[in-house]
A and B are shown apart, each in its own frame.
Chain A
Amino acid sequence: MTKNQVRKTLMEPLGKNNPVFVQILGICSTLAVTNKLQNTLVMTLGVMFTAALSSWTISLLRNHIPSRIRMMVETMVIATYVIIVDIVLKAFYPEMWKQLGPYVGLIITNCIIMGRIEAFALQNKPTLSLIDGLASGLGYAYVLLAIAFIRELLGMGSIWGFRVLGSWWTNWSIMIMPPGGFFVLAIFIWVIRETIMKEAKNV
C-alpha cells in the first residue's frame, strides 16, 4: 500500500468521482432530512460511520464470503452497523432520534455504501477499504451539508437553528418543503457539471 494509493483513494470521492454528482447515488435516505443542518450532520455522520466500517468488515471477510450470497452478507453487515447508530442515537440523543424517524434505518438501503463495497472493498485490503468508505462518506457529507445550508438559510432564515437573516427576510417556505430539496440538488448538479466536469474533460 503506497502513500500515493492512499492519497488517490482519499481524494477521488471528494472531487471528480463524487458519489452524489457523478453517480447520483444514495440521495434517497438523506435528502429528506436536509431541511435542517443539524439533522443532516447527524445523518451524514451515521452514513460515514457505516460506510467506513462496513467496507472494512467486508474487506476482512472478502476471501471467505461465497459470491452467491455476498449481497445478503453485505446487507447484514451494513444493517448491524446501522443498528449500532440507531441504538446510540436513541440512548444519547432521543430528541434527534425522534426527529429523524425512519431515516436512520434507511441508511441500510443507501446505495453508496453497497456500491462502494461491491466496487472497492471486495477487491482491496481492509485499511484501504476503510479509507475508501470514509472518503466516500465525506464526499457525500459535504454535498448534503451544502444543500442543507442553502435550504435552511433560504427556508427559515437560519443557520444551525440560529436566525441569521433579519426580520426583513421572507422565508421561502418552498425550500424546506420537498420540492426545495429536488431543486437545490438539481442546481448543484448543474453547476458542478458545468464547471468541474468540463475542466476534467478538457484536461
Chain B
Amino acid sequence: MEFGTFLWTCFGAFLTLAVFSFLYKDNPMYKFAEHLFVGVSAGYFVIILWHNGLVTNLYQRLADGHFYFLWLDSSKWWYIFPGLLGILMFTRFSNKWSWVSRWPIAFYIGIATGLAIPLEMANRVNRQLYAMMEPINWSNFMGTGWLDLTAGFSEIIIFVGTVSALVYFYFSKAHTGVFGATAKLGIWTLMIGFGASFGFTVMARISLFINRIQFLDKDWGKNSFDTTNEHFHAGYQFVFWLVVLIFVVYIVSEIRKHLAKKNQPPTQTA
C-alpha cells in the first residue's frame, strides 16, 4: 500500500474508532466524524448530480445549440422546458416569488402520482391478493425442503396468517368468541413476523461491526506492520501508534474524570 493511501486508511480507522466512542458517550471526536460524514455525503451527491444528471441530461443534449439563441437552435430544443422548470425551483429562496416554485412541484407531483397509483395498486395490492387466491398445491403438499414457500402446507400457513392478522385490525366488532380467537392468532402471527425482523436486524447490526473489525485488522493493522512493503520505513507504524495514542489519551482522561468525580466529597445543600 502506498503511503498516501495508507494515510487515508489511517484517517478511516480514526473515524471508525471515533464513531464507536459514542457507545461510551457523546464526545468531540464523534461529533467531528458525524459532521464530516454529513458534509461529505452532501458534497458528493451534488457533484454526482451535476456530472451525471445536469451535464449529461441537459447540457450535452442542448450542446449543439448556442447560448446567444438561448439554445433554441438546438436539435433537442424542448429540453429547455425541464431546465426552466428546474430553475423555477430556486424561487423558493425569495419570499415574493416563492409561489412560482409550485409550478414545477405540481408538474412533478402530477407525473409521479399518475405513474405511481396504477402501478402501486397493481403490484403491491392486486398481485399480493392474487397470490392469496391461488389453489393449494396438493401435489407438493410437504415441499422439497424446510418451510418451502411453494409447498401446499406453507400456502395454508400464509393464508391463515394473513386472514387472522387482518381480523386483528378489524375493530368494528368486539374481539370475543371465534372472532377473538382468530384475532389472537393474528397477533401471534404479527409477533412472529416482528421476531423475524428483529432477528434479521440483529444480524444487520452485527454485520456492520464485523465489517469494521475486518477493516481495522486487514486494511489498517496488517498494512501498518507489513515489513514486506518497500515503503515500510516511511513511517507506517508511527501513524498507526499516533491514532492509537489519541484514543488512549481520551480513555485515560475519561478514567481520571470518573475517579475525580467518585472521590469528590458530596456537596452540602443549604
A and B: bona fide binding partners: no
Could you tell me which A residues sit within 8 Å of B by CB distance? none
